[in-house]
Amino acid sequence: MEATVTEIHTMALMHGSNAQFTPNFFRRIVEGSGVPMIIFERRDRYPVVQFVNRAFSRRTGYGADELRGSQWWLVHAGSGNEQALSQLRDAMRNERDSQVQLRTHCKDGSWFWSDLHLTPLGDAGAAPRYYIGVLRDISAERAQQDALTHEAQHDALTGLPNRRLLVERFEQAAASPNRRTHRFALGLIDLDDFKQVNDTLGHAAGDELLQIAAARLARATRGGDTVARLGGDEFAVLIQSPQSYGSVTAVESRVRTVIGRPMTIQGHELTVSCSIGVGLYLVDGADFESLLEHADRRMYAQKSASRRDRPVAESTAAA
């Protein structure tokens, strides 16, 4: 550390700092700070760690000797840090300050969200050799932000994505570079005779029914699909990569099967059916609203056709 501090001290003197600020004085400032700090030396490809202060060691578990000479950059590759590390590389290439949020890894394998402010240390007109990074733990802020984002994108009763998140994922799929060949479909699902359950057993029973139906729909779909609650007893599913109407029909059948299984709610055994309509992207519509309208028409056509043959929701007292 002494050589690094001496060079920083020399730079400070050249920029007009008071001469009584000795290298030892600078070392004590950095070491004594309660803020995690890290000093990088610029190299051809990756910056190399030359020093971390005690606050950094306390927060991450890494001692100064463990990190000195290491490519801290490589430790933080992946884990969603790609954009932040790219921004830091650009800042070093252009010899300027940078501030990013990234996942900072700890020695025990855990990580925390941090705000890293990177500043070059160098003479005016000369390429900086060192960069000092100041870290601030923003885990609590990110947790609060993530909670607010989740609340804005999910249904409070069922925990499923809401219409807003469904539209966002639809637009992501539609914006895919392979959107002309990438197949996906939008299904609309309506629980039959849900109003009857609400009217006879009460809204608490209706809410429980919705929660059970939501959990069943989530289990009935694949990992890449999105099940959402649009409101009331209406659900939607974004089906990724269906090969044909045949595979869509299979999804419809699976959905009707899982919803149709008996469920016990507040001491009553219920058998509920559902209607579902599906629209294929670029076949039945090219945007969310037109595809949803097509699915809606197919769903209500199915509901009307099956109304005569479908028993209404059954309710019997459980033994």
Task: Indicate if the pLDDT at residue 318 is higher than 80.
Answer: no
Q: How many domains does the chain have?
A: 2
Indicate the residue among 110, 144, 178 that finishes a domain. Answer: 144
Task: Indicate if the pLDDT at residue 151 is higher than 80.
Answer: yes
pTM for the predicted model, two decimal places: 0.70
User: What is the residue whose two structure tokens read 């359950």?
Assistant: 197
Q: In this structure, what are the phi and psi dihedrals at residue 318, rounded to the nearest 5 degrees?
A: -70, 145
Indicate the residue among 85, 116, 144 that finishes a domain. Answer: 144
Q: Are residues 27 and 93 in the same domain?
A: yes
Q: Are residues 36 and 120 in the same domain?
A: yes
Greater confidence (177 vs 145) lies with: 145
Is residue 72 within 8 A of residue 47, CB to CB? The reply is yes
> Does residue 149 belong to any structural domain of this protein?
no
Q: What is the pLDDT of residue 16?
A: 46
Indicate the residue among 144, 174, 189 that finishes a domain. Answer: 144
Q: Are residues 137 and 271 in the same domain?
A: no
Q: In this structure, what are the phi and psi dihedrals at residue 5, rounded to the nearest 5 degrees?
A: -65, -40
Q: Are residues 175 and 300 in the same domain?
A: yes
pLDDT digits (tens, 9 = 90+) for 62-120: 998 998 888 877 778 777 888 998 898 888 888 899 999 999 999 999 999 999 999 99
The domain of 189 spans 154-317
Q: Are residues 131 and 158 in the same domain?
A: no
pLDDT digits (tens, 9 = 90+) for 126-148: 788 889 999 999 999 999 999 99
Q: Are residues 197 and 48 in the same domain?
A: no
Q: Are residues 140 and 26 in the same domain?
A: yes
Q: Residue 241 and residue 76: Cα distance in Å, rounded?
A: 33
